[in-house]
């Protein structure tokens, strides 16, 4: 996805929300929507950022992190949601907290039709598994929603996915 | 790469040889026979997976990063490791010094009818680990080789990998505690203390 021309503040606000929530391990499969956040996490001395080959590795890794006393966050694009489904059995059955921050594709002005099946169904599939979904669609609410989602996950030992609407990320207009 | 040697060791004897030297190691076992084996030598520092096939190695990584001063040992089967084979690349890139993985490799899916796994068909997990940048990676077939490799699971710079070839002997499933919440809570309470485990 193409970056917006104007600087955006919400990635920094997500980072601050993770810091305030004492997140120590950040696992990710890169997405353009997470560029700034990944760089911030990589640069932070108190965080370990781990690049994954596939998203379900992060579900397992952060379950291990929790066993060892670390809080974690898993960053991905909506296409990665499907890769996680069976692995979510681990935190769901064991009642371990997990915070997922998902940048959405396949919705707001999507140009690539291959993104639609997973993008349009990611929210429902997560909810079907028992994941609590919170959605952020406006720049000014992103930091607050991620922070509240983190509190929900870590205080109530549950799996929370914050979906960042594609509307936040803008889209490439292929009609021009 | 095709390997015609056969595993002759008994998986439970291998397990006993390893846990005899466990010290204060933190252990994660993968679903299936590795978890059943571990149930016969249950320990508060062991977390047994009963689901999430492919999770064991990555769970070990998260635990190793959270507890850098403790040794972490993942014990799992060849089928479970193959399902999470990308973990070799992720762990190889991260290079945690305190992580070791031992695959009890009987070259078959024991739980589902003894279908051969890829390791039966010539795939070398130690080869994968080595090429992914593990500090050490070995395949062992004999007791003498096993005795030489066990200390490397517990000391020396990781990530270290051992494929331990065993025969296809099956044991009755040991029905041990398998409630994940209990397994998680007792592991965390023992490691972190009750106050931190339940804050």
Residues 37-76 of B with CB under 8 A from A: 47, 49, 51-67
Six token digits for residue A92: 């769901």
Q: With an 8 Å Cβ cutoff, are A95 and B180 in contact?
A: yes
Residues of A in contact with B198 (CB under 8 A): none
Domain with A126, as residue range(s), is 10-131
At A30, which CATH number?
3.40.50.970
Q: With an 8 Å Cβ cutoff, are A52 and B90 in contact?
A: yes
Residue B79 included in any domain: yes
Residues of A in contact with B90 (CB under 8 A): 50-53, 57, 61
At B161, which CATH number?
3.40.50.970
> What is d(CA B192, CA B198) in angstroms, rounded to the nearest whole number?
9
| Complex ipTM more than 0.85, yes or no | yes
Picking from A27, A54, A64 by the largest number of B CB atoms within 10 A of its own CB, the best residue to mutate is: A64
Residue A4 included in any domain: no
Residues of B in contact with A69 (CB under 8 A): 66-67, 188, 191-192, 196
Tell whether the torsion through CA atoms of A136, A134, A57 and A16 is positive or negative.
positive
Residues with pLDDT less than 70, chain A? 1-6, 172, 174, 176
**Is B144 touching A (CB cutoff 8 A)?**
no
Residue A107 included in any domain: yes
Backbone dihedral region of B113: left (phi > 0), alpha (psi from -120 to 50 degrees) or beta?
A: left
Q: Where does residue A114 rank: exposed (0-12), middle (13-18), buried (19+ CB within 10 A)? A: exposed
Residue A127 included in any domain: yes
Residue A3 included in any domain: no
Which pLDDT score, from 0 to 100, does residue A5 have?
60
Structural domains of chain B, count: 1
Residue A124 included in any domain: yes
Q: What is the pLDDT of residues B42-64, one digit of tens each?
A: 999 999 999 999 999 999 999 99
For B29, nearest residue in chain A (alpha carbons): A64
Residue A156 included in any domain: no
Q: How many CB pairs under 8 A join A and B?
A: 114
Q: With an 8 Å Cβ cutoff, are A95 and B65 in contact?
A: no
Residue B69 included in any domain: yes
- B174 pLDDT band, cuts 50/70/90, is confident
Considering only the beta carbons, identify the residue of A57, A68, A86 that sits closest to B58.
A57
Which pLDDT score, from 0 to 100, does residue A7 have?
77
Residue B187 included in any domain: yes
Which pLDDT score, from 0 to 100, does residue A173 have?
72
Q: How far is A56 from chain B (nearest CA, A)?
A: 8
Q: Does residue B2 register a pLDDT over 80?
A: no
**Is B181 touching A (CB cutoff 8 A)?**
yes
Residues of B in contact with A48 (CB under 8 A): 65
Whole-angstrom distance between the N-terminal and C-terminal Cα of chain B? Answer: 50
Domain with B94, as residue range(s), is 11-197
Structural domains of chain A, count: 1
Which pLDDT score, from 0 to 100, does residue B5 have?
85
Q: Select from A84, A93, A30 the least CA-distant residue to A60.
A: A84
Q: What is the pLDDT of residues A86-135, one digit of tens each?
A: 999 999 999 999 999 999 999 999 999 999 999 999 999 999 999 999 99
Residue B6 included in any domain: no
Residue A137 included in any domain: no
Residue A96 included in any domain: yes
Q: With an 8 Å Cβ cutoff, are B65 and A50 in contact?
A: yes
CB B61 within 8 A of CB A64: yes
**Is B90 touching A (CB cutoff 8 A)?**
yes
């Amino acid at each position: 996805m193409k970056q917006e021309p104007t600087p955006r503040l919400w990635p920094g606000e997500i980072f601050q929300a993770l810091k305030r929530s004492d997140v120590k391990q950040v696992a990710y499969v890169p997405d353009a929507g997470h560029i700034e956040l990944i760089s911030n996490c990589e640069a932070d001395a108190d965080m370990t950022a781990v690049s994954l080959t596939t998203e379900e590795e992060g579900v397992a890794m952060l379950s291990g992190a929790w066993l060892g006393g670390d809080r974690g966050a898993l960053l991905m694009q909506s296409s990665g949601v499907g890769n996680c489904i069976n692995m979510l059995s681990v935190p769901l059955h064991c009642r371990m907290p997990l915070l997922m921050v998902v940048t959405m594709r396949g919705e707001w002005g999507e140009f690539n039709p291959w993104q639609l099946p997973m993008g349009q169904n990611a929210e429902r599939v997560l909810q079907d598994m028992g994941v609590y979904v919170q959605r952020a669609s406006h720049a000014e609410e992103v930091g607050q929603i991620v922070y509240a989602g983190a509190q929900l996950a870590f205080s109530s030992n549950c799996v929370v996915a914050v979906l960042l609407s594609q509307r936040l990320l803008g889209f490439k207009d292929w009609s021009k | 790469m095709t390997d015609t040697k056969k595993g002759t060791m008994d998986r439970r004897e291998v397990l006993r040889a390893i846990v005899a030297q466990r010290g204060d190691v933190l252990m994660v076992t993968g679903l299936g026979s590795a978890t059943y084996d571990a149930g016969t030598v249950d320990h508060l520092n062991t977390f047994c997976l009963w689901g999430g096939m492919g999770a064991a190695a990555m769970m070990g990584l998260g635990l190793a990063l959270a507890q850098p001063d403790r040794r972490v040992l993942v014990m799992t089967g060849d089928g479970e490791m193959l399902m999470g084979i990308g973990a070799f690349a992720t762990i190889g890139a991260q290079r945690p010094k305190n992580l070791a993985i031992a695959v009890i490799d009987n070259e078959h899916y024991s739980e589902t009818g003894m279908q051969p796994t890829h390791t039966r068909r010539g795939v070398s997990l130690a080869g994968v680990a080595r090429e992914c940048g593990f500090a050490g990676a070995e395949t062992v077939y004999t007791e003498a080789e096993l005795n030489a490799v066990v200390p490397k699971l517990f000391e020396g710079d990781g990530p270290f990998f051992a494929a331990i070839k065993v025969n296809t002997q099956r044991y009755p499933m040991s029905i041990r505690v398998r409630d994940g919440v209990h397994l998680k809570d007792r592991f965390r309470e023992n490691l972190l203390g009750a106050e931190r485990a339940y804050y």
